[in-house]
Amino acid sequence: MSTTPVTKNSDKFATTPPRRPTSADVELLAFAQSAELTARDLYEQAVAAGAGGDHVASLVAVAAHHDAYAQSLSALLGTDAPQARNDALFSSLTSGFGANTESMALAAHELENTLVVTHTDLLGLLEGTEGAALVASILIGESRHCAAMAALAGKSPVSDIDLFLTTSDVVSLAPQA
Amino acid sequence: MTMNDFNRDELRRALRDTADHRTDALGSIVEATRGLNFARSLSRRRFFLTGGATVSFAALVAACGGSESTGIARLGDAPTPNELVEADVTDVALLRTATSLEHNAIFVYEAAASAGVLSGDAAEIAKRFLDDHRAHAEATASLTRSLGGKAYTQPNPRLQSIYIEPALTLIVGDEANGVPATDDPAADVLALAYALETIAGATYQAYVPLLDDKSLRAAAMGIGDQEARHAALLGVVLNPDRLVSSMGLSIAVEYQEDTDTPAAAYASPSAFGTQAPVPVTLGAANESGIRTTVNLETPSLNSMVYEYLDAEG
């Protein structure tokens, strides 16, 4: 195959979806922001309880990641950002984020998997490209969190490899279209 | 006078004229800059002093570019410029490029397997990744066909030539060209795999805002998710002591890494997936003890597998 130089039309993409979030997008992104704030609070709760051991810095960093996701979504949403966690989601998960590092890491692994599946579903619903691009970059970060939490739970990258690589049986939280 | 004689005379005259112009202009510059010490920093005062030189440079440029002069040398025919091709970045082109990237990864893991570079756990992980990339390649090829496009079935030729082949050469060596083999091929293959998986995930991420069809965005990130997890798993293997980097995060000092230099690999190197180049250090050290760093990047517009390229063969 030849590698002909860049085409003169290459700065014009054939696809032209909207850039800014539509009104339907705003609802979806607001939901995502509240989910991220919930995750941040859960990690902070676990750190405060004493989870993490030698890897406590990693848990603090992951909490900061989720806070960064919420802030980025807030920047996109402006005054439509809820700026509050999802209390129902927090209550349903809070017991897993205690002081025991191994059990907390497994709960965090499931949470991250759930967020990955949720964001993947959101990508199939979002119209605006700015929101979709942001959610995609968050999704990549959370995919990597899944592997980090599996390792923190003491799982083997070889004999437990599916725990690192697959989303298992988690259910998406994404609102239906 | 033959035509050849005429051309030679014209050429000599043109060169002489050009030389005269150059001498005049350079003479002004030499005069204007006499006594200046360019090794010193250019202060404001010195900036004004050199104004004369600037004007003379402008005169030189003007002399060289005179449109009315017939004395400028011209020899032979200018090559015909390549006709640029009309090609849009369509969903099909994006999917074909994604497939090609999967084949780049397949190539690397197959090469490592056939060379027997990896063993034990690393070999098992690489085998799983190879199977995953084959499945991804089939998935993106199937999506391409579902959009009416022709599926691509080869490694991306540009990425192969600028990243993969040089990287593998650094690992296995090239005696004929004086490139020694690396001291630790297994570590280098894992480092290359980490970079390649990171770039694969970043590529799917980059394609999300470019894809017109929303369902394709979700499908692409379903694969991007797996690439990111491959990279993260390798990060766990390569750097088990620090799973999540704190670089760039505003968190308490006690949780920060005690270095300003990020490690080569992390399960989670940053909060967001980024489009930044991924550096990978490979090969044997040179006489100064320095190893080569290759920066892998997501496919650019010149690396995309447009459909028109099929016709070029």
Looking at the structure, tell me whether residues B205 and B274 fall in a common domain. yes
Q: Does residue B85 sit within a domain?
A: no
C-alpha distances (whole Å) from B120 to each of A15, A132, B117, B123, B231 are: 46, 40, 10, 5, 19
Tell me B176's DSSP state: G
What is the CATH code of the structural domain delimited by A23-165? Answer: 1.20.1260.10
In chain B, how many domains are there? 2
Domain boundaries, chain A: 23-165
Chain B: give the shortest CA distance to residue A103, in Å. 17
Chain B: give the shortest CA distance to residue A143, in Å. 6
Average pLDDT for chain A: 92
Nearest CB to A124: which of B88, B214, B256? B214
Lowest mean pLDDT, pick from A146-155, B66-75, B159-168: B66-75
Angle between helices B91-115 and B120-146 (to 10 degrees): 160
Is the CB of A157 inside 8 Å of chain B's CB atoms? yes
- State the pLDDT confidence band at A17, using cuts at 50, 70 and 90: confident
SS3 A33: helix
Looking at the structure, tell me whether residues B43 and B150 fall in a common domain. no
Cβ-based neighbours of B274, under 8 Å, separated by 6 or more:
A137, B202
| Predicted local confidence at residue B70, as pLDDT | 62
Residue B18: HSE in the Cβ half-sphere, 13 Å Cα cutoff = 14
SS3 B282: strand
Looking at the structure, tell me whether residues B178 and B291 fall in a common domain. yes
| Predicted local confidence at residue B313, as pLDDT | 59
Here the CATH number for the domain that contains residue B180 is: 1.20.1260.10
Q: Does residue B71 sit within a domain?
A: no
Mean pLDDT in residue range B4-24: 42
| Predicted local confidence at residue B72, as pLDDT | 73
Looking at the structure, tell me whether residues B33 and B117 fall in a common domain. no
Tell me A125's DSSP state: T
Helix (H) or strand (E) holding A82: none
Looking at the structure, tell me whether residues B106 and B23 fall in a common domain. no
Looking at the structure, tell me whether residues B108 and B179 fall in a common domain. yes
- Residues in A closer than 8 angstroms to B249, CB to CB, are 61, 64-65, 68
Secondary structure string (H, E, C) spanning B226-247: HHHHHHHHHHHHHCCCCCECCC
Chain A: give the shortest CA distance to residue B291, in Å. 28
Looking at the structure, tell me whether residues B258 and B298 fall in a common domain. yes
C-alpha distances (whole Å) from A148 to each of B69, B195, B231, B240 are: 70, 17, 11, 9
Mean pLDDT in residue range A66-95: 98
Looking at the structure, tell me whether residues B116 and B186 fall in a common domain. yes
Contact A1 B209 (CB under 8 A): no
Q: What is the ipTM metric for this complex?
A: 0.92
| In chain B, residues 143-172 whose CB comes closer than 8 Å to chain A | 154, 157-158
The model's pTM is 0.81
pLDDT at B61 over 60: no
Main-chain dihedrals φ then ψ at residue B242, nearest 5 degrees: -135, 100
Looking at the structure, tell me whether residues B174 and B115 fall in a common domain. yes
Average pLDDT for chain B: 83
Is the CB of B311 inside 8 Å of chain A's CB atoms? no
Q: Does residue B76 sit within a domain?
A: no
Looking at the structure, tell me whether residues B49 and B108 fall in a common domain. no
Q: Does residue B73 sit within a domain?
A: no
Looking at the structure, tell me whether residues B110 and B31 fall in a common domain. no
Cβ-based neighbours of B209, under 8 Å, separated by 6 or more:
A129, A130, A132, A133, A136
Looking at the structure, tell me whether residues B193 and B307 fall in a common domain. yes
Mean pLDDT in residue range B133-145: 98
Q: Does residue B75 sit within a domain?
A: no
- State the pLDDT confidence band at B85, using cuts at 50, 70 and 90: confident
Helix/strand/coil percentages in chain B, nearest 5: 60, 5, 35
Per-residue pLDDT reduced to its tens digit, B267-297: 999 999 999 999 999 999 999 999 999 999 9
Q: Does residue B138 sit within a domain?
A: yes
Residue B18 belongs to domain spanning: 3-64
